A and B are shown apart, each in its own frame.
Chain A
Amino acid sequence: MRKNVLLVLGASSDIGMSVAKKFAQEGFDIQLAGRNSYNLENHCTDLGIRYKVNANFYELDALDFNSHEKFVRSLPILPNVVVSCIGLLGDQSESELKIKKNVTVIRTNFEGVVSLFSIFANYFIDRGNGTLIGISSVAGDRGRASNYIYGSAKAGLNAFLSGLRNRLFSYGVNVLTVKPGYVTTKMTSGLKLPKALTTNPEKVAYCIYKAYKNKKDVLYVLPIWKFIMIFIILIPESIFKKMQL
């Protein structure tokens, strides 16, 4: 029997590498796609040695929309599972000053993923199966002053994934939205993260694999975040706007 294949978009991401390892451990062959090919080559070698699976890497820039269709067609095997770890946090204070950077944050987190997933969705419909996993964020649940640029992109992504799930369900294609909460990765290095609300990439990967197996729709990696966000969403806007969040 041919092995299942996982494709990671934005593969030099710490979460992405952990997801690749987890799926490789479960016997998947791995495709890594991202911008940083030096790292990806070593990652592939590592996966091959560690888990005795085939691992290959591909150049991909989420912002180079014109290349996406070609990228997908160039893959030697259409993957069974695609996980997007593409993300850019940006710096909110800087974003406020530099409109251009806002746009990059929005385009990376939202448009890049939309473009790629839309292509895969069509291929998966044709094949009649597949799973798309989008790593989004609790930041998308409600816009807050401290990171609403990133947050609004993730909110867009949440809506997109939910719509896509709705559309693809009848074709046997699953869509999983992942909201990790704080994770210790290079994206958050240098930030002081509250321990109780923070998890690590390995845990995220473990939960993603489990959610994939169980065909879950939305995954809060740390359940506490679900409660926090429910609470935050419930606050009336007239009060919320006065809060420093």
Chain B
Amino acid sequence: MFLKKNNFSSTEEITGWGLYPRFNVLKKNPKNIDELTEAAKTPSLIARGNGRSYGDSSINKVNTIDMKNFNRFLHFDESEGLLVAEAGVLLKDVIDTFLPRGWFPSVTPGTKYVTIGGMVAANVHGKNHKNSGSFGNYVHWIEIINIDGEIVRCSRNENSDLFFWTLGGMGLTGIILNVAFFLKSVKTAWIKETTLVAKNISEAFRFFEDNLNSPYSVAWIDCYTKGKSLGRSLVMLGEHAKINEIDFKNKSNPLKSPKKRRISIPFYFPPFILTKFNVRIFNFFYFLNGRIGRRTKLVEWDTFFYPLDKISNWNKIYGKKGFAQFQCVIPLTNSKKAITELLNCISNSKSFSFLAVLKRFGTETSYFSFPMEGYSLALDFPINSNNLLLMKVLDEITVKYGGRFYLAKDSRIKKNIFEKSDNRISEFRKYRQNKIQKKFSSIQSDRLNL
């Protein structure tokens, strides 16, 4: 019962969602604007949201500023769905509050446990990037604590450079304090989901291109098939269901979501649990399910957008050593070739991947965000020397085809590879030169010399 007290800053071990790498850092949890501006006075710092980036994006050794206490809604305009929220608000809270009133995020990542600040800083994409672009498209303005400790507002018309570098700028332009963004109007809490079973990667690509009008699309790929069935996948299409499309029993309350329980994993799984064998069984059942399930069905929003959120800390299944996600995007002209090569490389390797996700991106307008028109492939790998090597090979293939990497998922890319992958880096460096670069920095930005 001896508890030692240490005021509002403390050293603790933190990691990204991938639990790799781990760092002992000084973290601050400011409660109000005074404490925040005080905390922002140190020479080097990074803001942290809910730590759902995989690696070291939101970690600074001497001053990691946790923004989760800034979690209040400040304004909502019912007529156009414009919400003003503090940066630490969780996307989950946005949905819980506004879906019952007919509003849904215009763009959402694959988990609702992210903060609005994190969504802006990574300029996140969803399954609708091809038509709707990134989250930044719906951001009206941002208030940010800049290098001088002042709160400035930026938007497309006001301090626009700061605005466009902040979208996708990974916290490296300042501390995002408040964000005004548009939600989109929906009629029900349900998604009309159509599942297509693709025999191989070519067919998967065809399904994507044939269904560009479908608002949402994503494919889950079985990484263990080879040859003619390489890239066997389930392509899932979705659209928000209209009132006359949902079941009779839900019609009386079309925006209500059924209550669900979250399962949590009580401990780190030992490494043998997740063997290649098990993953295969998992994939087999997954595909069986895809085959026998009705091709078009109604699912509630949570199942469609956030299947992984059902298990609160699924990152522990990869064991104590953690895991890394490889996510790249390949320009459209090279997509098929490059992704086939990537999949070949993975299926021939000894490693196994639990998740392989393919998405179609449209064009991107902000300065430094990840997406570009083409296809994005994402896979998780438990950390071990084989997999680290394999990911290096995947890096090379990506660069060869003109692709680039998602910083929010990265924990291990080498500087020289990153530089080869993205010719916008020099512009970003120029913007950050001198003052900003020293002030706002993460372990990741130091590693990549951003």
**Assuming the A-B contacts A146-B1, A146-B3, are A49 and B97 also in contact, with contact meaning beta carbons closer than 8 angstroms in the complex?**
yes
Give chain B interface residues in 1-38, CB to chain A under 8 Å: 1-10, 29, 31-34
**Assuming the A-B contacts A38-B32, A39-B31, A42-B86, are A190 and B73 also in contact, with contact meaning beta carbons closer than 8 angstroms in the complex?**
no
> Smallest CB–CB gap between B428 and chain A, Å?
33
> Smallest CB–CB gap between B287 and chain A, Å?
38
A38 adjacent to B33 (CB under 8 Å): yes
A191 adjacent to B3 (CB under 8 Å): yes
> Smallest CB–CB gap between B150 and chain A, Å?
17
Give chain A interface residues in 35-89, CB to chain B under 8 Å: 36, 38-39, 42-43, 45-46, 49-50, 89
B320 interfacial by beta-carbon distance below 8 Å? no
A234 interfacial by beta-carbon distance below 8 Å? no
A45 adjacent to B4 (CB under 8 Å): no
A45 adjacent to B8 (CB under 8 Å): no
A190 adjacent to B6 (CB under 8 Å): yes
A45 adjacent to B3 (CB under 8 Å): no
A245 interfacial by beta-carbon distance below 8 Å? yes
Report A-chain residues with C-beta under 8 Å of the C-beta of B9.
190
**Assuming the A-B contacts A36-B32, A186-B31, A189-B29, are A49 and B3 also in contact, with contact meaning beta carbons closer than 8 angstroms in the complex?**
no
A144 interfacial by beta-carbon distance below 8 Å? yes
A49 adjacent to B73 (CB under 8 Å): yes
B140 interfacial by beta-carbon distance below 8 Å? no
* Secondary structure type dominating chain B contacts: loop
Report B-chain residues with C-beta under 8 Å of the C-beta of A233.
none
How many Å lie between the Cα of A42 and that of B69 in the bound state?
Answer: 12
B73 adjacent to A50 (CB under 8 Å): yes
**Assuming the A-B contacts A49-B97, A50-B97, are A43 and B72 also in contact, with contact meaning beta carbons closer than 8 angstroms in the complex?**
yes
How many Å lie between the Cα of A39 and that of B33 in the bound state?
Answer: 8
Report B-chain residues with C-beta under 8 Å of the C-beta of A193.
3
**Assuming the A-B contacts A146-B2, A186-B29, A245-B1, are A42 and B72 also in contact, with contact meaning beta carbons closer than 8 angstroms in the complex?**
yes
B5 adjacent to A46 (CB under 8 Å): no
Give chain B interface residues in 70-86, CB to chain A under 8 Å: 72-76, 86
Q: A134-172 toward B: CB 8 Å interface, digit per residue (1/0)?
A: 000000000010100000000000000000000000000
B5 adjacent to A191 (CB under 8 Å): yes
> Smallest CB–CB gap between A66 and chain B, Å?
27
A45 adjacent to B2 (CB under 8 Å): no
How many Å lie between the Cα of A191 and that of B29 in the bound state?
Answer: 13
A192 interfacial by beta-carbon distance below 8 Å? yes
Interface size counted on chain A using CB atoms at 8 A: 23
A189 adjacent to B8 (CB under 8 Å): yes
Report A-chain residues with C-beta under 8 Å of the C-beta of B3.
146, 188, 191-193
How many Å lie between the Cα of A12 and that of B69 in the bound state?
Answer: 11
How many Å lie between the Cα of A43 and that of B72 in the bound state?
Answer: 7
Report A-chain residues with C-beta under 8 Å of the C-beta of B34.
38
Report B-chain residues with C-beta under 8 Å of the C-beta of A186.
8, 29, 31, 69
How many Å lie between the Cα of A144 and that of B2 in the bound state?
Answer: 10
> Smallest CB–CB gap between B304 and chain A, Å?
24
Report B-chain residues with C-beta under 8 Å of the C-beta of A50.
73, 93, 97
How many Å lie between the Cα of A42 and that of B72 in the bound state?
Answer: 7
A96 interfacial by beta-carbon distance below 8 Å? no
B86 adjacent to A190 (CB under 8 Å): no
How many Å lie between the Cα of A197 and that of B34 in the bound state?
Answer: 32
Report A-chain residues with C-beta under 8 Å of the C-beta of B7.
190
B72 adjacent to A189 (CB under 8 Å): no
How many Å lie between the Cα of A50 and that of B93 in the bound state?
Answer: 9
Q: B25-67 toward A: CB 8 Å interface, digit per residue (1/0)?
A: 0000101111000000000000000000000000000000000
A26 interfacial by beta-carbon distance below 8 Å? no
Q: Which residue of chain B has its CB nearest to the CB of A188? A: B3
How many Å lie between the Cα of A245 and that of B1 in the bound state?
Answer: 6
Report A-chain residues with C-beta under 8 Å of the C-beta of B72.
42-43, 45-46
- Of the candidates A42, A146, A191, which one forms a contact with B6 in the assembled complex, judged by CB atoms under 8 Å apart? A191
> Smallest CB–CB gap between A144 and chain B, Å?
7
B73 adjacent to A46 (CB under 8 Å): yes
Report B-chain residues with C-beta under 8 Å of the C-beta of A192.
3-4
B32 adjacent to A189 (CB under 8 Å): no
Report B-chain residues with C-beta under 8 Å of the C-beta of A146.
1-3
Report B-chain residues with C-beta under 8 Å of the C-beta of A89.
5
Q: Which residue of chain B has its CB nearest to the CB of A42? A: B72
Report B-chain residues with C-beta under 8 Å of the C-beta of A188.
3
A190 adjacent to B8 (CB under 8 Å): yes
Report A-chain residues with C-beta under 8 Å of the C-beta of B2.
146, 244
- Of the candidates A36, A45, A91, A144, which one forms a contact with B5 in the assembled complex, judged by CB atoms under 8 Å apart? A91
How many Å lie between the Cα of A45 and that of B97 in the bound state?
Answer: 14
How many Å lie between the Cα of A33 and that of B404 in the bound state?
Answer: 52
> Smallest CB–CB gap between B273 and chain A, Å?
22
Report B-chain residues with C-beta under 8 Å of the C-beta of A245.
1
How many Å lie between the Cα of A188 and that of B86 in the bound state?
Answer: 24
Question: Which of A12, A50, A91, A244 has the most CB atoms of chain B within a 10 A radius of its CB?
Answer: A50
Q: B291-307 toward A: CB 8 Å interface, digit per residue (1/0)?
A: 00000000000000000
> Smallest CB–CB gap between B281 and chain A, Å?
33
Q: Which residue of chain B has its CB nearest to the CB of A39? A: B32
B86 adjacent to A49 (CB under 8 Å): no
> Smallest CB–CB gap between B69 and chain A, Å?
8
Give chain A interface residues in 174-217, CB to chain B under 8 Å: 186, 188-193
How many Å lie between the Cα of A49 and that of B93 in the bound state?
Answer: 12
Report B-chain residues with C-beta under 8 Å of the C-beta of A189.
8, 10, 29
> Smallest CB–CB gap between B91 and chain A, Å?
14
Provide 19 A-B residue pairs closer than 8 Å at the C-beta atoms, listed in order of the A residue.
A12-B31, A42-B72, A43-B72, A45-B74, A45-B75, A49-B73, A49-B97, A50-B73, A144-B1, A146-B1, A146-B2, A186-B31, A186-B69, A189-B10, A190-B7, A190-B8, A190-B9, A191-B3, A193-B3
A interface, CB within 8 angstroms of B: 12, 36, 38-39, 42-43, 45-46, 49-50, 89, 91, 144, 146, 186, 188-193, 244-245
Additional 19 contacts, C-beta under 8 A, given A38-B34, A190-B7: A36-B32, A38-B32, A39-B31, A39-B32, A42-B72, A42-B74, A45-B73, A46-B73, A49-B73, A144-B1, A146-B1, A146-B3, A189-B8, A189-B10, A190-B10, A191-B6, A192-B4, A244-B2, A245-B1
